[in-house]
Amino acid sequence: MSTATLPPKKTNRIGLEVLSYKGGKTTLCAGCGHNSISERIIECFYEMGVEPWSVAKFSGIGCSSKSPAYFLNLAHGFNAVHGRAPSVATGAIMANRNLFAITVSGDGDTASIGIGQFIHMLRRNVRQIYIIEDNGVYGLTKGQFSATADLGSKLKTGVVNELPPIDCCVEAIQLGATLVARSFSGDKRQLQAILKTAIAHQGLSVIDVISPCVTFNDHEGSTKSYSYMKEHDEPLHELDFVPSYEDIAVEIEEGEVREIEMHGGGRLRLKKLGRDYDPTDKMNALRVLDEAEHQGHVVTGILYLNTGKPHLAELLNLVDEPLATLPEARVRPPREALDQMMEELR
């Protein structure tokens, strides 16, 4: 035993094993879509070589909001109050603009109690990845509808939703998020590509991930079930993210693939599927979402991408260093400043 040579441990480009990106053991239900999303986060942060201690995790309240405890144990986490993670994350990013922020919220947390903070976060283009683990129901309180539940969707108890849903992606595109995507927790490849693009994006990424609730919303008549998604998922494109450190030249057939350079390094490659979708066209994105809603499809992929807009820390013209740890000499004006003020008030 002791003499046997162990195979070399696999590490990423900053020399960390995937273990450094793992979290605590999940307490969510077996088969919950949220657990798949946590796994994708672990894989993508590992593969992209993000320093885990530079990450700050935020969440609100609900099943989704427990999940930051299940990935990136080496990152600080903040489980805030219901629907208010955006303000906490915004404050933390103002305090330290170098933090790599990821917020995990749910459909109730974002679209019901938290809609106000969600919308104002969009306006500010706060640099972070904001994931909505969207299952259309409240799990911890045992299966009530949330504001993203589709019209006509049926609860296990037979209650039918008679109110139209809030489409968080429509809100995000209209109000200022600079990367807006929709995915399905069961689509590993697509979600990975979106997450990696979001990691490289210098702005707010809103990713609405349909993540079925196996306990309260995975039955016949639900529009957020695994089977419903398998039948109605309509990917806009085949996505691939090529990180800057893996810059391989690929033969591209004219008109088949779009490429977008990301400010944080790397390229997003979008391969045409049926139609040629341009994610930089805001009005088209809104039209496609509107059509899909009427046709009963769930379009997934990167719906909208704008790499040219300043994020909050840039808008605030903050110094490059974190405000939180500036030395006294830079935050307490000198005695002469107070003397001058006193003189003016005499």
Which residues contact other proteins (rule: CB under 8 A)? 20, 51-54, 56, 58, 68-69, 73-81, 84, 86-96, 98-99, 116-117, 119-120, 124, 313, 316-320, 322-326, 328, 330-333, 335, 337-339, 341-342, 345-346
- CB nearer to other proteins: give 93 or 149: 93
| CB of residue 109 to other proteins, shortest distance in Å | 13
Q: How many CB atoms lie within 10 A of CB 314?
A: 14
Which residues lie across from 61 on neighbouring strands? Answer: none
Please give the distance of CA 113 from its chain centroid, rounded to a whole number: 18
Torsion angle of alpha carbons 216, 221, 226, 227, nearest 10°? Answer: 150
Q: Do residues 191 and 132 lie in contact, with contact meaning Cβ atoms separated by under 8 Å?
A: no
CB of 264 to other proteins, least distance (A): 17
CA neighbor of 194 nearest in space, from 117, 28, 34, 305? 305
Quote the least distance from Cβ 98 to other proteins, whole Å: 6
The rounded distance, in Å, linking the Cα atoms of 318 and 126 is 13
- Choose between 163 and 337: whose C-beta lies nearer to other proteins: 337
CB of 50 to other proteins, least distance (A): 13
Nearer to other proteins, 175 or 286 (CB): 175
CB of 92 to other proteins, least distance (A): 4
Q: How far is the CB of 238 from other proteins (least distance, A)?
A: 36
End-to-end CA distance of the chain: 84
CB of 13 to other proteins, least distance (A): 17
Instruction: Please give the Cα distance from 36 to 277 (Å, whole number).
Output: 27
Q: Output the DSSP codes for 212-277.
A: --TTTS-STT-SSSHHHHHHHEEESEEEEEE-GGG-------TTTEEEEE-TTSSEEEEEEBSB--
Residue 56 or 206: the one with the smaller Cβ distance to other proteins is 56
Q: Which is nearer to other proteins, 53 or 245 (CB)?
A: 53
Within 13 Å, how many C-alpha atoms sit on residue 8's CB side? Answer: 5
| Contact present, 76 and 103 (Cβ < 8 Å) | no
Minimum separation from the CB atom of position 256 to other proteins (A): 42
* Closer to other proteins by Cβ: residue 138 or 145: 138
Residue with Cβ nearer other proteins (73 or 280): 73
In the complex with other proteins, the residue whose CB is nearer, 52 or 212, is: 52
Which tokens is 18 given? 């995937």
For 321-332, letters b (16+ CB in 10 Å) and e give eeeeeeeeeeee
Q: Rounded to the nearest whole angstrom, what is the least distance from the CB of residue 216 to other proteins in the complex?
A: 21
Q: Taking phi first (over 0 means left), then psi (-120 to 50 degrees means alpha), and beta for anything else, what does residue 221 get? A: left
Our CB check for other proteins shows the closer of 73 and 144 to be: 73
Rounded Cα distance, 29 and 133, in Å: 14
User: SS3 of 158, please?
Assistant: coil
